[in-house]
Amino acid sequence: MEGIIRIDLHGMHLDEARDALDEALRRADLSVYRVRVIHGFNNGTAIQSMIRREYGMHFKVIRVARGPVSGQTDLILREF
């Protein structure tokens, strides 16, 4: 694994997105330091808000950060 899991949530409802994120976090082993979530920025604000609200307090996530481009959010699992 390269250290980053990328997950695309385009077209998903909130429950589907939550299930996909939970699965990504479950399969993240110690080699993974970041989950990059692609949610879009036009219709992705509900998912983006859910990510910031719910996953900022997830036991594996030390912080939530903006991704490198609009429409992406990074869940930071560990720092370098």
Rounded CA-CA distance 35/4 in Å is: 6
Is pTM beyond 0.75 here?
Answer: yes
Second-level CATH architecture of 4-76: 2-Layer Sandwich (3.30)
Query: In angstroms, rounded to a whole number, what is the distance separating the alpha carbons of residues 18 and 8?
Result: 12
Maximum distance among all alpha carbons in the chain? 33
Single-letter amino acid code for the residue at 26: R
First to last CA, the chain: 16
Is the distance from CB of 41 to CB of 70 less than 8 angstroms? yes
Q: What is the pLDDT of residues 20-63, one digit of tens each?
A: 999 999 999 999 999 999 998 776 589 999 999 999 999 999 99
